[in-house]
Each structure stands twice: as C-alpha cells, then as structure tokens.
Structure 1
Amino acid sequence: MSEPTPTAGAVPAAPTAGVVPGPALVRLSPAQESMWLEQQLHPSAINGGFLSVLLRGDVTAEQVRAACLIVCDDHPQLRGLVVTHDQPGGSEAGGSGARMAIHPASAVLQFEELPLPAAPGGELEAARRWYRENRVGPWDLTVRSPIAFSLLDHGEQRCTLVVGVHHIAFDGRSKFVFARQFLSALAALRTAAGPPERQSQDLPEHPEIDQELDEVLQHWLAADLLTLPGLVLPRGDGADPGEEVRPTPRFDLPAEHCARLRTLTKEAGASFFTGLVACLAAVLSEYGNSRFVVGIPVDTSVPRTRDQIGLQINVVPCLIEVERDASFRDLLAISSRALGLVHRYRRVPFGWVLRELRRRHGVDVSQGAFDGIGVSYPTVVRDVGEVPGLECDWDFFAPNSTRSFDLILQLRREGDAAYGRLDFTAASLDPAGALRLTADFTRLLGQLTERPDTPLGLLAQGYVRAASTGHAVSPGDGGGERGSFVELTAAAAGPDASRVARCPVEQFLPTPAVAAFSRAGGRVLLDVVDPALGRLGSCAWRADDPYGIWLTDPAPGLRLQVTDPAGRALPPGIPGLLGLADDPRPGALRAWIDAADRIRLLGPVDLAHGWAGRLLDRADAEAVIAALPGVREAAVLWEPRAGDTVPRVFAVVVPVASADAGADAGQRLWRRTVRRAWPSGWPQPAVHVLDCLPRTPSGTVDRAALGRALSTALRG
C-alpha cells in the first residue's frame, strides 16, 4: 500500500546525546495509552477512519495544503509521533514506555495530490472507494503522524480532500471541529489579509479515575461474564471468514416512527437515544437473545476542550437483560438503567477495563463479551461554515475501517427523522444477514411505538414450517447402508461411484474423499434423527456446497420449527433448536430456516458452547478442518480452564496417508495449516496428529477416550 508522505522536509529524528533537544515529549492520555498498547498486541489491525469534502470552484492545491497545515499547527496531537522506550529519547518516557513527540506541523505534514476522474455527482463515492482500496491499512505511528491528506483532482474545478486519521488523536467529535477550522482557514487564505494570528490549543488534562475504575471492575465481576451467551444473529448465505469491516447502505427511520418514539421517551423521562437502544434490544430479543452487552461510544470532552481535536471519545459497555414478556415501555426503563453507566463511568478508558479485569482478576474478555455490538449516535453539527466562492459538500458518514466491534449500528438524527447504517465484519455476519438486521430495526421501531404496552413475544410472529411429503429415501434405497462416518468414508473410497452412501448427520464431515465420491456421481445421504423427537428427514449433500447441510427430504407430515432455548419460535434466518410445533420437548440439533423455506442444519446442540459472548461451534470447526486436503478425519475438543476465561481447545487431525504422529515436522505443518483455516474469534487450538480417532460401538467419536489420549500425549 502506498502512503502519503511529508511534502515539507523529512521527519526529524529523535534527540540524541550532545544534540539540542528536539520535539517535546508529552504523556499519552489514558485512552491513548490503552489504544497504543492494543496496537502493539495487534500490529496488523486498522485503527483509523476517514472523512472527505468535495470542493467545487477555483481553489488551488497550495491553498488547501496551507489550510491543512494551519489546523495541524493549532492542534498538537495531529503533529505528534509516538516514541517508544527502544527508540532514542524513549528511555525518559517511563510508564508504558511510550510518549508522543510533538513536531512542527511543517515537518510531519502528509499531503499528496492525485488525479481521480469522476462524473459530476459521483465524486464523494469515488473518493470513498479510492481511499478504501488504496489507503486503508496498518498505521505506524512511530514514523507517521496521526493525520494524512489526499487531494483528489476530478477536473473541471472539482476536487475532493480525503482526510485519513488514526484514532489515537482523532475521534468522531473531532471531524466537525476539523471541518469548521479547515473552512475558516481556507476562507482566510483566499483573502488579501491572509489568516489571522492564532494560538495553539493546549493538550487536554485528564483527571484521576482510580476510584471509578475500581467501581467499574466490581460491576463487571458481579455480572457473571463467563456465562454470557454468544450473540444470535440472522443468517443469509453463511458468514465469510475474515475481519474486514463492511457497511450496509443507509437506511431511513420514518418521521412518524420517530415522532411516536419522541413522545414515548419524553413520557418515560428518557432520551431519544435511549429509545433507539431499546429498539435494538427488541430486535436482538426477537432473534432469541435475552442477555447481551451493547458498547456505547461516548463524548468525554468538557467545555474547555470541546474545540480541541483529539481522542475524547470512550466506549462504555452496558449489560442489557430482556425478559420474555417485556413490553417496549419495559425496555425503555431497562435501557435507561443500563445507559446510566455511560454517564457515570464515561471517563474510564475501555482498554483499562479490559486490562485490569485480566491483570487483577484473571478475567479475559478481550474478544467476546464487550465487542459484539455497539451503537454510535453522535451529535451531527450542521453549520461548519462556508468559503466564499466555493461549494463544499462534506462526507462525515464514510464507512469506518476500524474493527472496534463485530457490528456497530451507526445512527444519526436529522430533523424529525433519523437514519443509520450497520458496519459489520465478514466473520460475524453476511451481507444478507446485515440487511435483514437493518430492515428488522426499521420494522420493529414502527410496531413498538404503535403498541408500546404489548409484550415483545406477541409482536414477533412465530415461524413454523409444514414439512412437505418430499421424496424421502427409504433406508434401503439405492443399496446404501446406514452407517457411521467411518463406513461412509469406506463407501466413498470404493470403486462403485453410483452407489448411495448413508451416514447420521451428526457424524458427517465433508472430507476430500467424500467430496470426490460426490463429484464422481455418488449420492451422500445424511439421516437426521433427533434422540428425543425421532426421525426428521434426510439431507442430500453435494460437494459443490460443502458446508450446506440442508434438510432436503423432511419426514412427511411434520410441522418443523426453530426455537430459542425457552421454546419460543424464531423467525426465518435465526439459528436455534430444530423441533416440532406440536411437541414441547427441545430438539438436540441446531438449525435455521431461510427465506426460501429451506432448513439448514448447524450441528448438535452439545457441540456448541457459549463463552463470554462468543458462540464456539465445534461442528463448524470440525467441518473446516475435515475439508482440508489430506485429511481423513478430524475432531475438536473444548474444555474450560480453572481460573481462566479462555477455554482450552484441541484440534485433532487424522491424515489420509499413514504417518508418524509424533514427527515434529508433520506436527508443525498441520499446526500451521489448521490455524490458517481456524474460525475467527476462537482461541487458537493445540493441534495434534493421530493415526485414528477412538470410537464408541455405535461409531461416534469417543470424546472421553480422545481427551484421555491427548492428556497422555501432553504429559509425555
């Protein structure tokens, strides 16, 4: 990735012995220190965003550059480089071993000019696309200041200034401060008098927060974070691997819905934002979530620092618990109490909470409990000024490149209405599921504000699928025999590719051998038999959809449904327990029903575990490993560790070729291969290579015996 470079001199070296002292070193704020330490732990992470302004009219690149330089001159944090303890001059930093070295703006200004053809009306979208494709990437703060400018020339007196910023010195509130001051400087530069005398802003002071930190820690220690279940979200075509942040299109909340919400929140003594959080809680409740954490970005500035550009936004996590019979008025009260923590503890840096929970109490929730979903609702500044002779269109709603949450709901109020966008990681939600969530938010806001006293369970439409007669295959059809996964593998390896191979669905893994059998014309039929509910049907598996275990042939006459653990029917696209509408007993298989009325199986219930806000699904992990080239069988084991919130995970591989399971080279090769394919968000596994998996007389993996074998291997 090419990067904008300083255009006025090189970055000054840190001071050395016998040389006149260079730039002043200042302490990182608590939030900056937390962000810096987090970046050291994850150096490839992206912790920045961008905004842009389209300028139409007669303006020169030198005028734009000079205005950028003026703003950077006025705000010390925009012209700072981080100096660490292992760099010259870093030894005097002490503490975390890092300080910010404040340089002259002219020495570290990053400003570039590039041509970017764009049709009139499409300039800002073209600038968004260009920035995300060419400038988003890790940001080394030891050699680059936290702000960079790219002036994109579209021709015909049209250009867009794209401002890339690292969050260590810039936040959501700061972009409006920047816009006002940039336009003021640009307007002054275009007059004969030139810019007026200015005085650099002081760095903000940070109060002591030890007592508040202790209170926050005690609050979360009492919240039983280890039992927090994973967030259940809508499914579309299946989530993709990776941590890339993707945005949905903007969605609008109608003015009539917002008007009713304003009335309800006023009656409840709550804010409009509280009502939006309550609506999100209702959406998540409809998906089967009853206990979850929502992260709230909050402005920590005070009147004397409000016009300073810098990191003055913190994230405060709030625990929300929704009763099944709660109404929207109840949710307003629940959300209001939860958001009371935001004001009370807004000065305690989010990173400090994670660090001290881990350091003092051994509770590690750095991934899971607190980063599932956030809600951003900043004040939108409408009047940022103007420049005589120029038309200026700002894009403050650009997609964020930072992964601060798996999902973050960006909400804005505009006149009598409101609008929003959902930013989501590919590993947490697919695009269809993301669009479903935003549509459900809009729909429920209307229903909840119309019927605020109706229990949520009555507003949600229960979903039951009447199974068709289908073309269920009898156990003897096609000459295939019902058998274990081992027997299916043997059938797939046989010479007769026209035969039908059968297997219980809970024992099936999509290995390369089974995929080759399917591609050669063989039929793979998976029997779906619930231990309590009986036979539910069959799945016809195909190699071209290796992870799609669809109930293609449901048993005739059954009314199938997907429910939450409490037995409430869930809407289409929401994972839950597969069961029967006329049978109150919970099912033992997980599934979801898509918009086309198809049932997709996700694996046995006992292979899914909730851990500090994450859902650890061994069925998914085993399928991913089994599909790797050279794998004959695979298994994943999970166990908690006393005094540690991070579970211990083992991945076991049985290769196709006979090999020495103890060979170091083979172990290292499989360890690298498995970890590259490992599902995002899981703890990294200990990888073991075995000749075979122990099995019970029925053919299922004997996980107890496998655990004993691994314990013996570890002791050896």
Structure 2
Amino acid sequence: MTNERLASAPERQFWFAEQMAPGATANRALGQVRITGPVDLEVLTRALRATAHRHEALRTAFVLDGRVLVRKASPESVVRPPVVLPAGTGFDEAAVALGADRFDIGAGDVHRTAVAPDAQGATCFLAVHHIAFDGLSHEVWTRDLAAAYARELSGEGHGPAVTRPPAPVLDPARREELTARWRQALAGVPDLPAGDRAPSQHELARAAVAEVRTVVAPATTRALQERARQHAVSPFALVLTAYGRALSELTGAADFCVGTPVSTRSATDGDEVGCVLNTLPIRLTDLDGPDVLARVWATVVDALVDLDLPCDEIVRECRPRRSRRMPLFQALFAFQSWPRTVHEAGPVRFRTVPVRPLGAQAEVQMQVCDLGEDGYEGILQIPQDGGWAGRLDDLIRSFHHHLDQLLAPGALEGTR
C-alpha cells in the first residue's frame, strides 16, 4: 500500500529539472562518509538497506496525477546492493561509477550506494537524486546509518521508519502578502551580465563544470567570525558580501541577485532525509561603503522572514517574462555551517566528508563549508563553456581580496 501526497515546491523544482535534462549530473548529489575502524561489509550492507527503508524519501516515486505532481511512498525501498569499489577510490571515480545509470524517479529509484574498503576502514558513497536529498540530509543519513550499523551488530533489529509530513500549504492571505513583498523587493532587478555567451537553462543542466578549491585559513576564519560578532550578523553575510563584490568587479554589475538555498526544516521534519529547503534570491546593490555589511544582512533577514513563498512562485510572480537564462538569479551561493559529528557504532566511527556539487546549477556557483578548527573550504564552479569560462582564477582572487578588505581594521567603522 502506497502513501500518496502532493509533492513539495523543491520536489517540483527537481522533477522539472529532470524532465528538462534527464539524467543530468546537476540533478544528483553524492554524499561521502568516512568510516574508520574494522568495518564488517555484510553488516554495513544490512545497515544501508535499513537506512533506506527508514526514510520515506528514499522509497518514494514522483509521478504526475493529471497536471499535479504527487509523491507515492512505497512500503519497500528500491535498494541495490552497494557497489564495492577499489581502495582509495575518490569522489570523482565514485561519481562515475554510480552515475552510469539514470535514476528512475517515477519508479522510486532515487539512490544507490558504493563502498571502498581500505586498511583504515572504508569510504561509503551515497548517490541520490536531489528530489530526495539536500545538504542536511547528508548528516541525517550518516547518523542513521551509524545507528543502523550499531543495531545490526547487536542484533536489535531495525529502528522506526520516518514518515514525511505533508507539503506545507500557504494560507491565501499569507501568500498574497508574501507575493507583494517579493514583488517589491525584486522589482526591476536585472540579470547578471554574462557577455555574449550566456547559457540557457537546458545547456546549464547538461554542462560539464570547471572548478577551483580554496581555503580560508583558520586565522582568517577566526577574524571573520569575530567581525561578524562585532556587527551582530552571521558569518554568512560577510562571505556573501565578499562573493557579491567579486561578481560585481568581474561583471560591472551594481544590481543583481544571488540565489542561496536555505533549510526549511522544522521540529516535524528535522530528522528526515529529503529535499527540505527553499532557494531565496538575495538582491545585492551598491556593495561599496562602510555600511555595506549592515545592508546585505538586512536584505538577507528580510528574505528569511519571507521564506515561506516557494522559489518557483517567487520566479513566477517576479519574473513573468520567459527567458532562456535562469530567471532572477544566475549566481548561486551555498553556505554549509552545521557541525560534522562523529557517530560511534561499536568499534567503528562514521563522519561525513564535505562534498562539492556534481553539476552546474547556476552560471557561477560557490559553496563554502565550515570545517571547524580547520577554517572554511570554498569551491567555485562554472560551466566549462560560456561567459565565465577561463575566469575562475580571477574570481577566486577577487573573492579573497574583498574578504580581506572587509576584515581590514576600520573597514566597517560606523556600522555597528
């Protein structure tokens, strides 16, 4: 017996993306978990099966019922045995091995796994369609996999299944209020300049990406966090401001949006694997002056207050004209600030590894991960072809330059 409910807004977003570019890597995520200690592969295989069964999103088919997308959860998940990979297999090799076959999201085939054993333990990989997975799902899945492994070792049996709550329904009056607020906030916002080679949404979904990694050193990270405390803002606002300034410097834009994914998890869905987020367009204007951080933070706070209107509705209401490019925002910024907990499971320990996006979800995208005492790690990605081609090094240099400027003594005086 299946459990049928309306799909949520982000599920609709990724279902549409799959129809537009079936099998595109941009629609996938690849979670990576480091397991240290004497791993029993048979126990791990059973734990993987139990974790898939526990989470409804990993056993859900997404299908059209007329013109409405619904999710149909099955009592049993589509679980393939984990692929066993050679020791030392890295992220790129695992992505290829697990990406050879398309997901069939209409049949509930939304994930698969692989394990690369080695002398110190194993690395476990989870390839999953974004329709059933977001950044925080990585932590939830790892925690539950460790718990399932411990139960399998002790013979305790499976833990309880997690049932997804219904997709939220906005009150009509609240929807009208939010629509008016977003229309006002985004009125007349232009696209980010991209020269004469701006890619279409379809081209983006199929594009191979070029990337560069960078590290914000621990000392700089501590200075960043201290500056954020001084000005009563999140470190997110400081890093976003530096990223926005770099985009502005390289494009000449003085007014544009950056999209940022924000978790919408609540007490009812905080423990579930799923795509539980909204992508908010943050409008950045006039990024100079000592009050820039306060202005950026105020814009972010206003967007968070209006979080309940789904991104597809914001786009529909604020950019009604059709465009071959991504609407409203062409740059993306993801900030992962949650702790990466070590989960004990008998003689072994599980911990997530920060991973990068697999494909182009924007014309230019930056992901920053908080590594705790090791500082921040940044990943900048662009399509290999298009207006940003060959500009990654310039962008990362500009980002660090503007971050250093924001942290310089006296740079933001008079804004506290």
Shorter chain as denominator, the TM-score bin is 0.7 to 0.9
Who is 2:406 aligned against?
448
Bigger radius of gyration, 1 or 2? 1
Q: Partner of 1:303: helix, strand, or coil?
A: coil
CA deviation profile, 1:302-332 (whole Å, cap 9, x unmatched): 1232111111121000111116xx22x3210
Instruction: State the AA in 2 paired with 1:290.
Output: A
User: Where in structure 2 are the equivalents of 1:558-573 lying within 5 Å?
Assistant: none
Which residue of the other structure, out of 328, 337, 342, is the alignment partner of 1:379? 337
Distance 1:391 1:304 in 2: 28
Whether 1:68 and 2:48 are equivalent positions in the alignment is yes
Distance 1:216 1:81 in 2: 31
Whether 1:352 and 2:322 are equivalent positions in the alignment is no
Structure 2: where are the runs of 5+ without partners?
Answer: 198-202
Which residue of the other structure, out of 205, 214, 217, is the alignment partner of 2:176? 214
Whether 1:195 and 2:174 are equivalent positions in the alignment is no
- Aligned 8 A contact 1:247 1:399 in 2: no
Who is 1:413 aligned against?
370
Structure-1-length-normalised TM-score: 0.51
Whether 1:433 and 2:391 are equivalent positions in the alignment is yes
Which residue of the other structure, out of 69, 83, 91, is the alignment partner of 1:113? 83
Distance 2:296 2:100 in 1: 35
The Cα shift of 1:80 comes to 1.1
Q: Partner of 1:295: helix, strand, or coil?
A: strand
Who is 2:16 aligned against?
37
* Residues 38/380 of structure 1: CA separation in 2 closer, same or farther (3 Å cut): same
Which residue of the other structure, out of 39, 63, 79, is the alignment partner of 1:59? 39
* Residues 454/381 of structure 1: CA separation in 2 closer, same or farther (3 Å cut): closer
Instruction: State the AA in 1 paired with 2:180.
Output: Q
The Cα shift of 1:157 comes to 7.3
Who is 1:25 aligned against?
4
Who is 1:403 aligned against?
360
Instruction: State the AA in 2 paired with 1:117.
Output: P
Distance 1:426 1:150 in 2: 28
* Residues 128/273 of structure 1: CA separation in 2 closer, same or farther (3 Å cut): same
The Cα shift of 1:79 comes to 0.6
CA deviation profile, 1:126-168 (whole Å, cap 9, x unmatched): x4323236516753211342221123455x5754321011111
Whether 1:276 and 2:256 are equivalent positions in the alignment is no
Q: Partner of 2:62: helix, strand, or coil?
A: strand
Who is 2:190 aligned against?
228
Identical pairs, percent = 20
The Cα shift of 1:433 comes to 1.6
The Cα shift of 1:174 comes to 0.8
**What is the CA RMSD across the aligned residues, in angstroms?**
3.1
Distance 1:202 1:374 in 2: 31
The Cα shift of 1:178 comes to 0.5
Q: Partner of 1:173: helix, strand, or coil?
A: helix
CA deviation profile, 1:565-612 (whole Å, cap 9, x unmatched): xxxxxxxxxxxxxxxxxxxxxxxxxxxxxxxxxxxxxxxxxxxxxxxx
- Aligned 8 A contact 2:54 2:159 in 1: yes
Instruction: State the AA in 1 paired with 2:304.
Output: H
Instruction: State the AA in 2 paired with 1:24.
Output: N
Distance 1:59 1:41 in 2: 41
The Cα shift of 1:171 comes to 0.6
Who is 2:291 aligned against?
330
Distance 2:159 2:123 in 1: 26
Who is 1:612 aligned against?
none
* Residues 427/334 of structure 1: CA separation in 2 closer, same or farther (3 Å cut): farther
Who is 2:62 aligned against?
82
Q: Partner of 1:109: helix, strand, or coil?
A: coil
Who is 2:72 aligned against?
101
- Aligned 8 A contact 2:343 2:349 in 1: no
The Cα shift of 1:180 comes to 0.6
Q: Partner of 1:302: helix, strand, or coil?
A: coil
User: Where in structure 2 are the equivalents of 1:546-625 lying within 5 Å?
Assistant: none
Distance 1:281 1:148 in 2: 36
Q: Report how many residues are paired.
A: 402
Who is 2:200 aligned against?
none
* Residues 315/227 of structure 1: CA separation in 2 closer, same or farther (3 Å cut): closer
* Residues 349/201 of structure 1: CA separation in 2 closer, same or farther (3 Å cut): same
* Residues 112/261 of structure 1: CA separation in 2 closer, same or farther (3 Å cut): closer
Q: Partner of 2:135: helix, strand, or coil?
A: coil
Which residue of the other structure, out of 280, 290, 297, is the alignment partner of 1:316? 280
Who is 2:260 aligned against?
296
- Aligned 8 A contact 1:61 1:113 in 2: no
* Residues 139/226 of structure 1: CA separation in 2 closer, same or farther (3 Å cut): farther
Distance 1:214 1:45 in 2: 35
Who is 2:211 aligned against?
248
- Aligned 8 A contact 2:15 2:131 in 1: yes
Q: RCO (CA 8 Å, sep 6+): is it higher in 1 or 2? A: 2
Whether 1:340 and 2:301 are equivalent positions in the alignment is yes
Instruction: State the AA in 1 paired with 2:72.
Output: A
- Aligned 8 A contact 1:357 1:364 in 2: no
Whether 1:131 and 2:95 are equivalent positions in the alignment is yes
Structure-2-length-normalised TM-score: 0.85
- Aligned 8 A contact 1:354 1:364 in 2: no
The Cα shift of 1:258 comes to 3.1
